[in-house]
Amino acid sequence: MDKKRILVFESSQTFADMLLEHLREKEYEIKIAKDGFEGIKEVYNFLPSLIITDIEMPLLGGYQAIRLLKSRVSTKNIPIIVFTSLDETKDKFWIKEAGADIYIEKSPENLVVLSEKIEIIINENRDIDYESIKIESKKITDNSLIETLNGILDNQLFQATLVAMVAKLSEKAASLDETLQGVFSILNKACHSEICTVMIKDTDECLLVYNANSAGYTDAIADDFKAITIADFNKRFTDFKVMSNEIKDFYGPAAEPQNEDGSDKVTGENNNRIESYILIPLVEANQEFATVHIGTSKKEYFSSFIKETIEFFLSAAAPVIANALRLRQMINLQKKTRVAFARYVPVDVMDEIIKKSAAPVSQSENRMVSILFSDIRNFTKISENTPARELVNFLNEYFSMMGNEIIAEGGNIDKFIGDAIMAIFGAPRTLENASASAVRAAIRMVKALTKVDTSEITLPDTGFGTGIGVNSGECVVGNIGFQNKLDYTVIGDTVNLASRLEGVTKYYHQALIVSEYVYSAAKDNFIFRKVDSVRVKGKDQPVGLYTVYESYSGEEENDTPKILYINREALDQYNKGIKLYEMKEWKTAEQYFKKSFAISEQEGKDDYLSSMYLSRISELLKNPPPDNWDATITMTDK
């Protein structure tokens, strides 16, 4: 088997001799090149299995040599170990970016480590194309090498690498926070950026401050650095009056990752003095919009080359940061706009407007929905006896509380009509069961009434209460109006009936009445009690009316109002009475209604519906109806 060949780029004869002595017992064929230029030429003659190179060498340094070898198809698979005394983070970063396979700090003690790494890497199957190297060797001359190397001098290599990293950052960063975190990471690798602050002018005179204490400086030192950065920023932007600020801190590898309470920690125990400091503005479209402040404990660190490298990187990063800032501002503006318009436009409609921009929100369509109407009882008397300011404040609070309950169940507030509320369930967003959602919202509204503050208004003797009507059915849904003013709303008989149901809650002494269509869709979700059968004006087909309960007596929650629970036996007696009443078995029905009334009375509840049917039966027994009587009453009002 042929010996493994190791080519060493080493300008120090002392280290070259030490390396040869250390590897003498190994069966390697070793050749020494005194610099990178000679080393590259030897690659084509010696055909090495492995290259070991220093970085600082005359004529041609290690960065350029590595870059050249790794950029050529024939030599890119030759493994390269960098054995150098350069040990700063930025040096390790550039070594990796140049394409080296392994980095080892140069010292006599690390010769053993080097030997171990050689043993591993040299026996790997790297598929080195020696035939192509031999063919290419015939074209390699000093002039051709110099021409190739002109394109990969240190500064150009650094700048090209930085541009590539900025491009990757712009692709991956989804927010300003992520963008700045990426900038800090690159700065920490590209230079000795131990502590860094970026200060950005935002809208509404808000100052955005991002801090990266990667060296883990103590609170005192970090605070002193922040004070300097703020003073320098204010000197640079004298017209920018800071009204508010947002601060984001990132902790670094030298700082402890967490405090004792588990929160992120952004300082450490590094007491070194910050000896070097630099400020670089960020510019876009010839306008400065931010400043970058970098500090390090190394004295006179920011040489012309390092400053040029940082400035080059930040000039490339500035548009990326500016774009991320604009995205942040756009998102914040959208949030503010949504909050403002949500007071006037249902959220689902607003989403559709944003999605379709200037196009119509949607075409009118027939859709199955549920409509809820709510109205304050005796509001005319309340308004007559309450000062206007107090009345408006009360209504705002009341609408806010009721509106929140409606929205919580997926409803959209269509409009406020004086003291009334109209809400839609099932449009524009489809709900799994719009009827059930509307009833749940109505129950929540009844419960919320106990929390409404009525201390600033004058109430009638009957106190404060509301009536709620809910109906379900097909409606025409869409935009109604003209091009300058459109309302997303619903029209149709379903809406009209819902409004009438709310109106008859006073007649039936019920807080909530729903139609038989709601009952059919939601009967498995709640406890229903039939109220009556009515014939709406203009319609021949009667409609069943129901009231709704949340639970049975003894099963209710502590805060459940009396009107939302019913005795199970009382309801059973009542339902039997209703069936017999509709069958014209009035005397028997009367007995059941009396039992239902008595049970409710024992619980301290006034059962108006049972008493209503007892009165009706009494009248029917005295004055029997015609033969076509169908237990239905006719609503004469619209």
Condensed to tens digits (0 to 9), the pLDDT of residues 579-607 reads: 999 999 999 999 999 999 999 999 999 99
Checking 229-236 for CB contacts under 8 A at 24+ apart, the result is 229/197, 229/199, 229/279, 229/291, 229/293, 230/199, 232/279, 232/291, 232/293, 233/199, 233/207, 233/291, 236/279, 236/281, 236/288, 236/291
Nearest to 118, CA basis, from 62, 50, 53, 66 = 50
Nearest to 22, CA basis, from 110, 123, 120, 124 = 110
Average pLDDT per run of 10 along the chain, which is 638 residues long?
A: 84 89 88 88 92 84 83 89 83 81 91 92 88 85 58 55 70 80 82 89 91 90 93 92 85 46 58 93 91 93 82 88 88 75 60 55 78 94 90 92 92 90 90 95 94 90 92 87 72 91 93 96 96 82 94 88 94 96 94 95 93 95 91 77
So what's the pLDDT on residue 634?
84
CA angle 294, 299, 305 (to 5 degrees): 65
Phi, psi (degrees; rounded to nearest 5) at 466: -135, 165
pLDDT digits (tens, 9 = 90+) for 80-120: 999 998 877 767 877 887 789 999 999 888 999 999 999 99
pLDDT digits (tens, 9 = 90+) for 260-285: 444 444 457 889 999 999 999 999 88
**Residues 487/480, Cβ–Cβ less than 8 Å:** yes
So what's the pLDDT on residue 1?
43
The answer to whether domain 365-525 has CATH 3.30.70.1230 is yes
Segments of 166-324 assigned E as strands: 195-201, 206-213, 244-251, 276-284, 287-296
**Residues 192/89, Cβ–Cβ less than 8 Å:** yes
User: Against a cut of 0.75, is the pTM above it?
Assistant: no
Helix (H) / strand (E) containing 190: helix 176-190
Structure tokens at 638: 């619209």
User: C-alpha distances in angstroms, 499 versus 123, 277, 470, 475?
Assistant: 87, 72, 8, 14
**Residues 74/53, Cβ–Cβ less than 8 Å:** no
Name residue, tokens 């379903």. Answer: 494
Which of helix, strand or coil describes residue 528? Answer: strand
Which of helix, strand or coil describes residue 450? Answer: helix
Handedness of CA 568, 572, 577, 579 (dihedral sign): positive
The rounded distance, in Å, linking the Cα atoms of 182 and 175 is: 11
So what's the pLDDT on residue 254?
40
Topology agreement, domain 158-333 and domain 365-525 = no
Provide the angle, in degrees to the nearest 10, between the axes of the packed helices 62-71 and 89-98. Answer: 30
Neighbouring residues of 565: CB distance < 8 A, sequence distance ≥ 6 = 549, 550, 551, 552, 553, 555, 556
ω into residue 79 within 30 of 0, thus cis? Answer: no
Structure tokens at 552: 């049975």
The rounded distance, in Å, linking the Cα atoms of 400 and 169 is: 45
Q: What is the CATH number of domain 4-152?
A: 3.40.50.2300
So what's the pLDDT on residue 172?
64
Structure tokens at 504: 């008859």
User: C-alpha distances in angstroms, 324 versus 168, 177, 180, 228, 310?
Assistant: 14, 9, 9, 26, 20
Instruction: State the burial class of residue 81 (Cβ atoms within 10 Å of its Cβ: 0-12, 13-18, 19+).
Output: buried
Topology (CATH level 3) of domain 158-333:
Beta-Lactamase (3.30.450)
Domains of the chain, by residue range, sit at: 4-152, 158-333, 365-525
**DSSP class per residue in 40-90:** HHHHHHH--SEEEE-SS-SSS-HHHHHHHHHHSTTTTTS-EEEEES--SHH
Please list the residues that pair with 213 across neighbouring strands: 251
So what's the pLDDT on residue 443?
96
Which of helix, strand or coil describes residue 132? Answer: helix
The rounded distance, in Å, linking the Cα atoms of 49 and 187 is: 35
Cα-Cα-Cα-Cα torsion 98, 104, 107, 110, nearest 10 degrees, comes to: -160
Phi, psi (degrees; rounded to nearest 5) at 216: 70, 45
